[in-house]
Amino acid sequence: MKVIEKIRAADPNRVVFSFEFFPPKTEDGVDNLFERMERMVAHNPSFCDITWGAGGSTADLTLEIANKMQNIVCVETMMHLTCTNMPVEKIDHALHAIKSNGLQNVLALRGDPPHGQDKFVQVEGGFACARDLVKHIRAKYGDYFGITVAGYPEAHPDVIESNGLATPEGYQNDLAYLKSKVDAGADLIVTQLFYDTDIFLKFVNDCRQIGITCPIVPGIMPINNYKGFLRMTGFCKTKIPADIMAALEPIKDNEEAVKAYGIHLGTEMCKKILAHGIKTLHLYTLNMEKSALAILMNLGLIEETKISRSLPWRRPANVFRVKEDVRPIFWANRPKSYISRTIGWDQYPHGRWSDSCNPSYGALTDYQFMRPRARDKKLIEEWAVPLKSVEDIYERFRMYCLGKLRSNPWSELDGLQPETKIINEQLESINMKGFLTINSQPAVNGEKSDSPTVGWGGPGGYVYQKAYVEFFCSKEKLDALVDKCKDRTSLTYMAVNKEGSWKSNVGQTDVNAVTWGVFPAKEIIQPTIVDPVSFNVWKDEAFLIWSRGWACLYPEGDASRKLVEEVGGSYFLVSLVDNDYINGDLFAVFADF
């Protein structure tokens, strides 16, 4: 979706905010950025943008990060695109790449001079300015892209003279050029950083006076450290009000005090801007989360403990998946894997799962088993422990269900989900009995949709869930469980081992909605289902995790590695649903084990 459409569709009384990131220089830096992004995106920014390195130096990495932001982190993504060192062929390559990945938003910039040069030089076959880039995008791609351009409240740095000010003529010429960018097809303006809010407010008024009517989003850069602040404001030729310098001078060597002041200053700047009726904020994060989130919390725009979800899972912002609202529950803890295995679908389930035989899941590749280095380190610390018996394996699962471990080979998420804590004591009990759980949800009967633990879909509705648990167990335990299910008609199960031996009391084409919501003036939404076809696809991944997610953490020939592989090769994977979400007791079937 285009950012301009999201801004126009927003509640006029609601403030929308967004974040900017830049491509890190190392692989570890990229991994850390995505972990930070995941946490920040949980607060539902209207979009996030990713910068294009000076002179196009990070072009490939920017394209890769933008794709993952849109499709894996699942946030509306705007990619910067500059003219520096970019002939039209490279520009079109970048635009084609992001369009094919479902992105619809570009921030069109002239760009800074190439490294080691003082002035911008038009590359042969390229563009001289952002306006020409905007014209090209509109001419070649029509209305597909939302195009944002930069606005400079104090005028572009090239126009600012040695006294730190632009001449009146230079400022007016810069405003006229900004209008020409909008007239060429830009539909949104995001400003350069500033620290004098009066200058920004005057700039907005000046823009309106010359006929610029599109939204103008203020760019806010929190002060995180003194030297970085001076370096950035010096590079951008940004005016620093005397009272800010006076406040920073006595604390400049105390980084924590500088950060605290930066949060206070950013909060006060935003308050003044919002008081003038502007309802958009763009935060330049410098790839750091604490200051940006603290400002938003101070403004009452987010709550650390209250994160709203439009669905129980986060939908990619990819334009091709905008209507997707149904998924099998099996990948609930591995959403990135699910997205990667369904990325080639022509259509995504909307309203009902329908005929689950239609979609063809992508084959398993190394991608599904790749982990960020920090996560790998945590798994080694928590799961690569000596194992002398199968009971030691039980203990790993038990500790995870109690929240004593943060990682799990079967989960891409960090720790337990809030709703799991409702049933974690029952999960602990069945894990100690040899039913090794990897996915679960409690029964819910008409909880308010803004519940902090099980809510989704926003306020005003009611949500429902059937109790569900998915686990590995031995054939002996499975046979006993199947026998007990005969007397419990509300229980439905599917079980399969690594070789595909199947046991179930449901038909091969049966689809069971296990989560649904009722909302004002909407059809019933059923975002998670259980179905045999998808379960059979998931089981290959689930069994491979025994070896590629856990056993591989031990050295070759290690006895613990052998034990993990033996359990994974001999156990069954079981999906169990209690369809009585009002009076049922899913865990009662495990009582006599």
Catalytic residues, by residue number, are 20
CB 102 within 8 A of CB 96: no
- Give the C-alpha separation, 300 to 401, whole Å: 33
* CA dist., res. 449 & res. 309, Å (int): 9
What is the C-alpha to C-alpha distance for residues 237 and 220, in angstroms, rounded to an integer? 15
Two tokens, residue 301: 């725009």
Q: Specify whether the CB–CB gap between 585 and 578 falls below 8 A.
A: yes
DSSP at 118: S
Q: How far apart are CA 67 and CA 101, in angstroms?
A: 6
Residue 536: phi and psi, rounded to 5, are: -65, -30
- Do 443 and 296 touch, CB atoms closer than 8 A? no
Contact 203, 191 (CB under 8 A): yes
State the SS3 of 382-416.
HHCCCCCCHHHHHHHHHHHHCCCCCCCCCCCCCCC
Taking 3-state DSSP, the helix, strand and coil percentages for the chain, each rounded to the nearest 5, stand at 40, 15, 40
Residues 177, 180, 181: CA angle, nearest 5 degrees: 95
Question: What is the phi/psi pair of residue 81, to 5°?
Answer: -145, 125
Gap between the Cα atoms of 270 and 197, Å rounded:
9
Distance, in Å, from the CA atom of 577 to the CA atom of 573, rounded to the nearest integer, reads 14
The alpha carbon dihedral of 100, 106, 109, 114 has a sign of negative
Residue 409 CA to residue 342 CA, distance in Å, equals 21
Nearest to 320 by CA among 100, 525, 2: 100
Q: Identify whether the C-beta of residue 432 lies closer than 8 Å to the C-beta of residue 402.
A: no
Bridge partners of residue 327, in order along the sequence: 528
